[in-house]
A and B are shown apart, each in its own frame.
Chain A
Amino acid sequence: MTLIDLANPSKFLALTARALPWLAGATAILLLVGCYQAAMAPDDYQQGATVKIMFIHVPNAWLSMFVWGVMSVAALGTLVWRHPLADVAAKAAAPIGAAFTFLALVTGSLWGRPMWGTYWEWDARLTSVLVLFLMYLGLMALWRAVEDPSRAARAAAVLTLVGAINLPIIKFSVDWWNTLHQPSSVLRMGGPSLDKAFLIPLLVMAVGFSLLFMTLHLAAMRNEILRRRVRSLQMMQASQQAA
């Protein structure tokens, strides 16, 4: 099946119906294994047991940026290739991305209080992630504010691409500025600096959360396609009644 085939919403819905149970099952298994490994992971020599927050904070932080990346590709699909499902994909991803960003902020705050002595600090990493969260909310508000889906799609696509500038700022904020947030310890030149006892559960949780995103995103896209079908049928009904 090619990308062109998936442009047909009916074919996409059929594929989603087949894929969702498998994705949901794989997600549940990986997250359960990841939680078990996180529970069994040793304490860090400096942070003690609070290192366990890392296993949920880091995957959510990665996904907060990854989802915006997915939306940026979808925005190109809307503006350049005019793929019929590109806007559906972007709109369906936004609330899920907002939830991951919210969780990254809150778990980071709960990790920061015992380690840094504060829930919040206006440093570059924390502030740029807060900006990302606000951009997700802004995009969701924009989609709700514009009634015509095609007009909303173009405006949202432009805003998404402008907002993508924030992604490298978030990623490199800990290198460019002197921040309270620690530098990257997994995705860095020279390989991960984490011990295997922490790295393996972290990667299992990261794959589990990524599958969770795929599952929720496909299900939300299916809902959005049905919502648009409802809208077009309601318009047909209205025009039939007017005739």
Chain B
Amino acid sequence: MTSLGPYASFIVTSYALVAATVLILIGWIALDYRHQKERLRELEASGVTRRSGRQATEI
């Protein structure tokens, strides 16, 4: 790998920001999925069923 030269901090900060933002996006989407599944399980436990008769969490 070549040296990053006098502007290394700009390069490293750019890559770090991209990595952090992508990780935040992935984490947010994964947490949202868990949250929605949890809400569906709670609704199913309370006795609410879909019009199709299938379980709330079922695809």
Contacts and interface: CB of A to CB of B under 8 A. Distances in A.
Interface of A: 10, 13-14, 17, 35, 39-40, 42-43, 48-50, 52-53, 56-57, 60, 95-96, 99, 102-103, 106-107, 110-111, 113-114, 212, 216, 219-220, 222-223, 226-227, 229-230, 233-234, 236-237, 240
Contact of A233 (B5, B6, B22, B56): B56
A48 B26 contact: no
A226 B10 contact: no
B43 A219 contact: no
B11 A52 contact: yes
Given A17-B59, A56-B15, A233-B56, A48 B37 contact: no
A229 to B, nearest CB: 7
Interface of B: 1-8, 10-11, 13-15, 17-18, 21-22, 25-26, 28-30, 32-33, 36-37, 39-40, 43, 46, 48, 50, 56, 59
Given A212-B22, A237-B48, A49 B39 contact: no
A110 B29 contact: no
A230 B34 CA distance: 13
A14 B59 contact: yes
A39 B46 CA distance: 54
B2 A43 contact: yes
Contact of A114 (B1, B7, B43): B7
Contact of A110 (B14, B39, B56): B14
Given A223-B32, A230-B40, A237-B43, A53 B14 contact: yes
B22 to A, nearest CB: 7
Nearest to B7: A114
